[in-house]
Amino acid sequence: MVSGSTLERRAARSPFAGVLAPVLTPFKHDLAPDLERFARHCRWLLAQGCSGLAVFGTTSEANSLSVDERSELLAGLVASGVDPARLMPGTGCCALPDSVRLTREAVSAGCGGVLVLPPFYYKNLSDEGLFRTYAELVERVGDARLRVYLYHIPQMSMAGFSPALIERLLGAYPRIIAGIKDSSGDFANSKVLLESFGPDRFDVFVGTERLLLQNLRAGGAGCISATANVNAAPMVALFRTAEGDDADAQQAKLDAFRALIEKGPVIASLKEIVAHASGDPAWRDVRPPLVELTRAQASALTAELERRGFAMPGLRGA
Domain-embedded: residue 251? no
Domain-embedded: residue 72? yes
Global pTM value: 0.94
Same domain, 157 and 289: no
| Rounded Cα distance, 255 and 94, in Å | 33
Domain span at residue 278?
263-309
Q: Average pLDDT of each block of 10 consecutive residues along the chain (318 residues)?
A: 60 86 97 98 98 98 98 98 98 98 98 97 95 98 98 90 97 97 96 92 96 97 98 98 97 98 97 97 98 97 96 83
Same domain, 224 and 269: no
Same domain, 121 and 59: yes
pLDDT score recorded for residue 77: 98
Same domain, 170 and 96: yes
pLDDT score recorded for residue 192: 96
Same domain, 85 and 112: yes
Domain-embedded: residue 205? yes
Total number of domains in the chain: 2
Domain-embedded: residue 45? yes
Same domain, 109 and 78: yes
pLDDT score recorded for residue 1: 47
Same domain, 216 and 126: yes
Q: Are 182 and 190 in contact (CB under 8 A)?
A: yes
Where among 214, 246, 278 does a domain terminate?
A: 246
User: CA torsion angle for 60, 236, 206, 8 (degrees, to 10)?
Assistant: 120
Where among 219, 246, 273 does a domain terminate?
A: 246
Closest to 35 (Cα-Cα) out of 266, 227, 270, 282: 282
pLDDT score recorded for residue 14: 82
Same domain, 19 and 69: yes
Q: Are 246 and 240 in contact (CB under 8 A)?
A: no
